[in-house]
Structure 1
Amino acid sequence: MIKVHVDGQTKEIQEGATLKEIIPDIPEKYSVAIIKSSKSSEYKTKNIRFFTSSGEVVIELNTRGIKLFSDDYFRKLFDKKGKSSASDVLSVKWSDRQATTFGPFKSAIVPDRKQHRYNKGDVILGCGGYDPENSYLIFSRMPHVADHGADKSGGVIGSVVSGKNSVHTWKPGDIVKNAERIVSTENTSDSFATTDRSLQLEDGMEIITHVTISAYGYDKDKISIDASNSVEHMLITLKGGEFQADLNSSGFVRDEKMKKSTVPQEIKKSRLEGTVTVRTSGRLEGSLYIYTKDIPGSPNHTVVGEIKHGIELVKLIRKGDAISVKTIPGQIDLRGLSLKESLKILNKNGIKPSIDDNSGERVVIDQKPPNTMEVLEEKKVSLKTVPLSNVIGIRLNDTDAPRTCGIFREVTGLRWYNIGKMPLLFKYDDVTLFQPKVPRKITINIENTPRDTVPANMLAMTNDSRRGVGLVGVRTSSNNEFGPTSEPFSATNIIGEVIETDKLSSLKEGETVYIREI
């Protein structure tokens, strides 16, 4: 018998056992981390983090700064818990458009009594009245020339690399609540990520099968909704329990499946190892990032969570790999679910429902509050439903029409929720036409057009070659001349099929039609 460790749990297995035998429930498309041996050592980085009453700031220290914040000196300023040892230590004493000062405290500097030039973001050790007994940390807000009572070097001990916005919000009365030297772990292990389930296991191996992400603001005893919209975007991205590494950089991995989505900037913090963010602007807006190294904060990213388990797996995956992901909490999005199933989920989470109609079989089409964190915080939710007979099942063909299917999901709402909708334009003979609102900026290129005959019940979207671009249609009989939108084959992009065609007969022109993927 040999011992292996799976997600922190020790298991005894027969010698010669394979990876598949101990993780049969993990889909084989997902990479898992294999760590054969591990030698970890902690070392102090050249960064120090200040937790102030107006936000976090990370300072990258230069050689002089590292010497200043030696362990002995650090202990004099802060107690063992990192908190200020006196109420008047490191509080804002004065602030103007050029700089903000924190102090006073004792230092051993010898004032130069001359002006020096400083850059925006510089952190300076100076003193008041040329008295080292009244020394200060001075944060430069803008390029300027001044005499801050520094030594002949100018007194620059580092620069702000994260939390720059906080520097501009500090005012008298703000304090440094606590501080810490940032410690990193160096791992020299024989490790790799693999999808090969035939891998033979060895004694002492560690296997990491998944990643667990805790959403920003979530605590089982108290919920914060400060990031509820961007956290919901993360939960949508990971709805299938999968993170796809579309890019693997030296400091992060990125999942682009929800790029080009509008996401608000809600939480700007340091992007430390294990931090999860969403990009809020630019070409990749909506993409999800997991950081494998400390990176300064950015106004183009909003923090949505942090890794609680599996950072080793994130560090080992390659571009194109997919991994299994669990979120805390799980998403509470009831749209598209049956009312019966929805009530079970709400009961499990201790949430009180308010229902517009609970007669017969019904499907949830909307919920208020709309986001998971808000539902958990309020402990109640209002549900809007429709009869099951009003919801039509469809199947989309991503293999042959990936771009058009993507457009269809976006304009109907299926990209974000498990139910979509579109208005019924009109019906005649065997044709039913729908008119979802397609933004002008979206181009529907020719894709997966039919050749000889269009079978019955195919779902299609008119491409840019005709004036009726964006129309969606279904024809309940086959046709060898026109497509489901009554356009020539060259203008018809086949995107899938309607499964529940029996429901089409009851539809009325002008009404909203609800659809679900089956």
Structure 2
Amino acid sequence: MIRVHLDGEIREISERSSLSTLIPGQPAGCAVAIIRPATQEQEKTASITVTTTTGEITIELAGREVDVLERPEAAGSLVLHWTDRYAAAFGPFPSEIRPARKPHLYERGNVILGCGGYDPKTSYLIFSKSRHLADHGADESGGVVGQVVSGKAVLDRWATGDRVTKTEPVISWADTSRSFTTTDPNLVLEDGMLIVTRVEVLAQGYTPERITTEAAGSVEHLLVALQSGKFAVGRATSTHILDQRLVGTDVPSQFKRPRREGTVTVRTGGPSVGGVYIYRADVPSSPAHSVVGQVVHGIELVKLAKEGDLLSTRIVPSRIDLLGLPLEEAKKVAAARGIAFAIDTDGADRIVVSQEPGTTLDVLSERSATVTTAPFEQVIDIELDDARAPMSCDVFRRITGLKEHDAGMMPAFFVFDDVYLFKPKIPTTIKIYPENCPTREVPGAALAITNDSRKGAGLVGVRLSANREFGPTSEPFEGTNIIGRVIDTDKLKSVKERYMVYIREVRK
């Protein structure tokens, strides 16, 4: 027999046992962390954390020795000497640079070793705040000694009187045990191995004893993003892993704090807005990130994860979303979670179409929820075609609410003959590119959305009969993206203009 550690518990298993015999219930496709027994050694990275009176920044050095940064006792000489819209200079201090007396082009975040009056005895560490061309008294190479990789917003807040209070190297742990992630069920286990199968996250504001709602909206985004129970590693860097599946989704900016090892955030601004981040190392807070949780188990899996890995993930608490549930089932869910339940109209043949409060933490904090229901005959089942129109289906789910809930809605806009048009609210930032456009005939009951080639972009339509000339939104074929079909066509016949239509997605 051999002993292994499985998620913190010691297990005795037979020699030559495989991974599948130890964790038969592991979710399909999810990687686990394998850590062979060995010591760890501390390793100095090429990065330095610089603490100033305004905030922290992290500099990734470019390979050149920078004495004033690498000797902690030298930090006292770094006082803000001048700042303008282009750069900020800290010093002076002596150096051995040879100024080239010519301008160089610098990018935002560049850290430059230059001097005043071409005198190396009055050298400065200069931080570029924006792209500019200047002669900072640097050497022939331009003097770029590093790049600010974290805390760039601090550059813009420096003012007279600011100074550097501390510099210290960023330390990582270099694991010498050949640790890795794997999905191989036939991996043979060895004595003393540590196996980590999942990541557990405690949501911001939640403890069994007390619930606060300072981050309720952004936590709800986290619960939606990871409702499948899997974190998809779309990017893995030295400081974080990123799940990009909900990138492009607006998220409220609510709870800003330093991002420590194991901190979970959602991005609230910038190119990856809506992305979920888990941090492998400490970095400063950012106005573009809201803290939504903390890893309480499985940080080893986070640190070892690589791009393309799926990580089994559990968020505490689990989400409370009653939309789309039959009323009787919603009652059972509420009772199991200890939630008082207020209903507009009771009945066995009704479905939940609205819930207040709308976020899990608010419901748990108030210990109550009020739901609006609709009879089953007013809820139309649809089927979406992700295989042929993945981008358009994603847009449709976003604008109808199906991205976050099991039930969505859209207002009826115009009804004529056997054509039903709907006009959900669509943000101006959403683009609908031509995709899965018909070429010969559109079958009856096809569901479509007008693409950006037409003025009516975002209009959703259904035509009950087949047509060889126009799509379901009454646009030419080139302006029509077919996204699926309506299953409950008979229910459409009772739809009238200005009615709110409720929909449910049926998945194959």
* Match in the other structure for 2:104: none
| TM-score, with structure 2 as normaliser | 0.74
Q: Which moved more, 1:473-482 or 1:327-336?
A: 473-482
**Structure 1 residues 157 and 486, CA gap change in structure 2 (3 angstroms):** closer
User: Is contact 2:72-2:167 (8 Å) kept?
Assistant: no
CA shift for structure 1 position 65: 6.7
Distance in 2 of aligned mates of 1:66 and 1:22:
54
Distance in 2 of aligned mates of 1:371 and 1:214:
16
- Give 1:247's match in structure 2, choosing from 235, 242, 245: 235
Give the 5 Å matches for 1:56-455: 143-144=159-160, 157-158=165-166, 187-455=175-443
Partner SS state of residue 392, structure 2: helix
Partner SS state of residue 231, structure 1: helix
Distance in 2 of aligned mates of 1:65 and 1:393:
69
Distance in 2 of aligned mates of 1:455 and 1:2:
62
Partner SS state of residue 33, structure 1: strand
User: Is contact 2:437-2:477 (8 Å) kept?
Assistant: yes
Distance in 1 of aligned mates of 2:201 and 2:74:
33
* Match in the other structure for 1:28: 28
Partner SS state of residue 31, structure 1: strand
**Structure 1 residues 232 and 362, CA gap change in structure 2 (3 angstroms):** same
User: Is contact 1:28-1:197 (8 Å) kept?
Assistant: no
* Unmatched runs of 5 consecutive residues or more in structure 2: 59-68, 77-122, 127-156
Distance in 2 of aligned mates of 1:465 and 1:184:
51
Distance in 2 of aligned mates of 1:13 and 1:430:
66
**Structure 1 residues 183 and 214, CA gap change in structure 2 (3 angstroms):** farther
CA shift for structure 1 position 362: 1.8
* Match in the other structure for 2:17: 17
* 1:210 maps to amino acid: R
* 2:166 maps to amino acid: G
* Match in the other structure for 2:468: 480
* Match in the other structure for 1:493: 481
Distance in 2 of aligned mates of 1:241 and 1:228:
19
Partner SS state of residue 493, structure 2: helix
* 1:258 maps to amino acid: L
CA shift for structure 1 position 144: 4.4
Over 6 Å off, 4+ runs: 41-49, 56-62, 65-68, 117-120
The CA deviation string for residues 84-134 of structure 1, in whole angstroms up to 9 with x for no partner, is xxxxxxxxxxxxxxxxxxxxxxxxxxxxxxxxx9999xxxxxxxxxxxxxx
CA shift for structure 1 position 145: 6.3
CA shift for structure 1 position 405: 1.1
The CA deviation string for residues 150-181 of structure 1, in whole angstroms up to 9 with x for no partner, is xxxx9x651699xxxxxxxxxxxxxxxxxxxx
Distance in 2 of aligned mates of 1:333 and 1:370:
8
User: Is contact 1:390-1:514 (8 Å) kept?
Assistant: yes
**Structure 1 residues 64 and 455, CA gap change in structure 2 (3 angstroms):** closer
**Structure 1 residues 452 and 4, CA gap change in structure 2 (3 angstroms):** farther
Distance in 2 of aligned mates of 1:145 and 1:456:
72
Distance in 2 of aligned mates of 1:66 and 1:465:
61
Distance in 2 of aligned mates of 1:426 and 1:59:
56
Q: Percent of aligned positions with the same letter in both sequences?
A: 46
**Structure 1 residues 8 and 36, CA gap change in structure 2 (3 angstroms):** same
Q: Which moved more, 1:456-465 or 1:291-300?
A: 456-465
* Unmatched runs of 5 consecutive residues or more in structure 1: 50-55, 69-116, 121-140, 147-153, 162-181
Distance in 2 of aligned mates of 1:391 and 1:3:
55
User: Is contact 1:118-1:145 (8 Å) kept?
Assistant: no
Distance in 2 of aligned mates of 1:278 and 1:488:
40
User: Is contact 2:473-2:480 (8 Å) kept?
Assistant: yes
User: Is contact 1:432-1:473 (8 Å) kept?
Assistant: yes
CA shift for structure 1 position 18: 2.7
Distance in 2 of aligned mates of 1:340 and 1:48:
58
User: Is contact 1:409-1:415 (8 Å) kept?
Assistant: yes
Are residues 1:513 and 2:501 paired? yes
User: Is contact 2:401-2:408 (8 Å) kept?
Assistant: yes
Size of the aligned set, in residue pairs, is 418
CA shift for structure 1 position 474: 2.0
User: Is contact 2:327-2:348 (8 Å) kept?
Assistant: no
User: Is contact 1:420-1:514 (8 Å) kept?
Assistant: yes
* 1:281 maps to amino acid: G
**Structure 1 residues 29 and 501, CA gap change in structure 2 (3 angstroms):** farther
CA shift for structure 1 position 370: 1.4
**Structure 1 residues 13 and 480, CA gap change in structure 2 (3 angstroms):** farther
User: Is contact 2:211-2:365 (8 Å) kept?
Assistant: yes
**Structure 1 residues 206 and 64, CA gap change in structure 2 (3 angstroms):** closer
Distance in 2 of aligned mates of 1:380 and 1:66:
58
* 1:27 maps to amino acid: P
Partner SS state of residue 27, structure 1: coil
- Give 1:464's match in structure 2, choosing from 416, 432, 452: 452
**Structure 1 residues 359 and 396, CA gap change in structure 2 (3 angstroms):** same
Partner SS state of residue 506, structure 1: coil
**Structure 1 residues 405 and 302, CA gap change in structure 2 (3 angstroms):** same
User: Is contact 2:412-2:498 (8 Å) kept?
Assistant: yes
Distance in 1 of aligned mates of 2:417 and 2:452:
25
**Structure 1 residues 160 and 369, CA gap change in structure 2 (3 angstroms):** farther
User: Is contact 1:367-1:382 (8 Å) kept?
Assistant: yes
Distance in 2 of aligned mates of 1:489 and 1:143:
59
Partner SS state of residue 417, structure 1: coil
Distance in 1 of aligned mates of 2:28 and 2:42:
34
User: Is contact 2:328-2:348 (8 Å) kept?
Assistant: no
**Structure 1 residues 59 and 405, CA gap change in structure 2 (3 angstroms):** closer
| TM-score, with structure 1 as normaliser | 0.72
The CA deviation string for residues 387-424 of structure 1, in whole angstroms up to 9 with x for no partner, is 12221122212221111112111221222222211112
CA shift for structure 1 position 66: 12
Q: Which moved more, 1:355-364 or 1:467-476?
A: 467-476
**Structure 1 residues 458 and 201, CA gap change in structure 2 (3 angstroms):** farther
